Chain A
C-alpha cells in the first residue's frame, strides 16, 4: 500500500500517480513484505514499511519583510499563491497572511519542485511575474534555484534556504 503524501489517499503498491488528486507518487516504499523462513517454513514479516508521508523539510522560505521562516515538509513539489474567495484553485502554500495581495502575488503564482535533488522554480503565468535575484524569469519554464537565492513573487521577496 502506498499513501499519497499530498492527500493521504491509499493506492495499491505499484501506483505511479494518485488517483484521487493526480499527484505523482515520487517516493517509492515497498509494502509490508513477507517471506518464508527457509529453516522453519514459517511466514515472517520482513520489514515494516516506513510511512511515506514523512518527507523531512528540504527547503525553507525565508520571508524577508516579516523575517519569518517557512519550512516545507511532506511535499516534493508545491505551488505558491494566495487563496481568495469564490476561487476554486487552491495553491499548496497560501501566502495571503504575508500581504500577498498587496505585494501582487497571483492566486496560482509559481511552483517549486525537487527533481531528485535539483531544485527548480517555474512561474505559472502570474500577472506580476517571478524574479530570481532581481531577474524576471520566463513563465512556464523551469529555472534552477540555489541556496541563498532571493525569489520575488511580484513584490513579495523571500530567500531560499535549502537543507
Chain B
C-alpha cells in the first residue's frame, strides 16, 4: 500500500473551504520557512518544492476545482484540542442600541493527544541587556539565572545568548551543547556592563540566531531581559516581532526594576502570543526565568491564533488571556492567543460590542473563523480548527445569570481594567478621576481579602494626590499585581 501523502490542503494547513487570500497567506508562511536559503533540516527543500506545487494548483481556480474532484471526502482531522466555550448570553434581544457580550474560551489538548504528547526540543535564545544600569546585583543575578537554565537544558535543546547595549554581541551562537555546558557557563560569566539600551539591536541579533533552527518541530522562543527603555526603534521591534510570529518564534520579556517601558514590552510580546513579566527586585529574576523555562518545557502548542473575518456589526472591544500567562491580547484578528501547556489550559476572555440588530436578522455571528494551532509536539501537519460562535436574536429575552466561571474571571478583570483607566487618566492629567478609580479598586480588593495589593494601591493614591503622578514603580506593581490575581488559586504565588 502506498504511504498516504497529505493532500495539498493539509500540506498548507488549510481547510477545503479556504479562500484565495488564506491560500496565499499559508503559502507565504510556509515558503518563508522552507525556502532553500533559510531551511536547515534535511528534506525541507523537497518539502518546499511540494508546497510550491500545491500553491500553483490551489491558487488557480480552474486547476483547483479539477484537483478537488480527485479528492475523497474531506477527512475530519483528528481532534487535536478540546475547547469549551461559555457565553454570557446565548440569546440577545433585538435592541435599537449596542450591547455587550462576553465569551470565555478554554482550550486543552484532546484526551487522545494527552496520551501521546512527547516533549519537543527547545530552541531558546536569551537576549540580555548589558547596559550600564544593569551593573552589580542585576547582572550578577541574570548571569547565575542563565547558568541555571544552561544546566537544565536537554542534549537536544538549542541554545543561544545575545548581549546588547548600544550594539549587540553573540555570546553563544545557536547550537546544541551536547553535554558540554562548562564552556557556555564561562562565556556567560564574562559578561560586562557598558553603554545604553538599544533593544532592536539585541532582538535582531537574537532573531538571526534563533531562526537558523526555527522549524515546526522545535519550540522557538526569545526571552528578552531588560531594565531600560529603548528610544526610537520601537516600531522596528514590532515589525521584527511580527516576522518572528510568522516563523513560529515566540518573544517574552522580563522587565527589571522601574525604568523599563511596560507598554512597549506588553505590545511586543503580544504579537507572538508571548508575555511580559515584571521583576520588582533582582532576586526574583531567577524565579521568573525558571518559571518561563519550565512553561516552555511544558508546551503542548506554542501558539494558537484566532482568525476570523472582522464584521461591521460585531467588534472585539476587549481581549485578555487569563491563563497560562495573564496578558492583554490584540483586538484585531488574527489574534495570537498564546500557548497551550500540557496540563494548563489556554483560557481567554473576549468582550464583544454588538451594534443594533437589524430588523429581520435572526442570528448574530460573533466569530466565524478558525483556530490555527502551531504545536511542535505533534509530528504532523494538521488543519485549523473551525470556530463559529453565534447567538440567536429574540424580540425579548429574560436574561439568565451568566455562567459563574465567566463572572468570576470578569470580576478580577474588571479591577485590572480600572487600573488601566487610572493610568490613562494620570497620563491625561485627570488626577481626581484616577484616584477615584484606584479607590474603588482598593475597596474591592479589601473585600476580596487581597490586603497587601489594596495597601499598595492606597499608598499610590496618596502619592498621586501629592506628586500628580505614579510613584517610581507603583504603576507596574499595580498592573502586574492585579494581573497575577487573575490566575486560579493554586497557580498564585
Contact = CB atoms under 8 A, between A and B. Distances in A.
A140 B449 contact: yes
B96 A32 contact: yes
Given A14-B92, A31-B93, A32-B96, A22 B440 contact: yes
Q: Could you say which interface size class chain B belongs to?
A: 35 or more
Interface stretch (A33-41, A61-69, A95-103, A148-156): A33-41
B35 interface: no
B353 A12 contact: yes
A108 interface: yes
B102 A16 contact: yes
Interface in A46-72: 46-47
B299 interface: no
Contacts of A31: 93, 95, 97, 99
A143 interface: no
Interface band, chain A: 35 or more
Contact of A88 (B95, B407, B414, B458): B458
Contact of B440 (A12, A15, A21, A36): A21
Contact of A108 (B89, B101, B446): B446
Nearest to B407: A16
Contacts of A90: 439, 443
Contacts of B410: 16-17
A1 interface: yes
A127 interface: no
B189 interface: no
Contacts of A24: 407, 411
A144 interface: no
B96 A14 contact: no
B316 to A, nearest CB: 14
Nearest to B102: A16
Contacts of B353: 12
B444 interface: yes
A125 B99 contact: no
B447 interface: yes
A12 B449 contact: no
A13 B100 contact: yes
A17 B446 CA distance: 18
Contact of A12 (B93, B96, B98): B98
Interface string A107-119: 0100100000000
Contact of A14 (B99, B406, B418): B99
Of the listed residues A22, A24, A31, the one surrounded by the most CB atoms of chain B closer than 10 A to its CB is A22
B396 A79 contact: no
Contacts of B354: 14
A80 to B, nearest CB: 11
A13 B93 contact: yes
B399 A28 contact: yes
Interface in A1-21: 1, 11-21
Contacts of A121: none
A47 B99 CA distance: 18
A89 B458 contact: yes
A16 B93 contact: no
Contacts of B402: 16
B449 A13 contact: no
20 contacts: A13-B98, A14-B99, A17-B410, A19-B414, A20-B437, A24-B411, A30-B396, A30-B398, A33-B95, A33-B395, A34-B95, A46-B396, A47-B396, A88-B435, A89-B442, A89-B446, A89-B454, A90-B439, A108-B446, A125-B451
Interface of A: 1, 11-22, 24, 28, 30-36, 43, 46-47, 79, 88-90, 108, 111, 122, 124-125, 140
- Give 9 closest A-B pairs by Cβ, nearest first: A14-B100, A28-B399, A13-B99, A17-B414, A14-B99, A140-B449, A21-B440, A12-B100, A88-B461
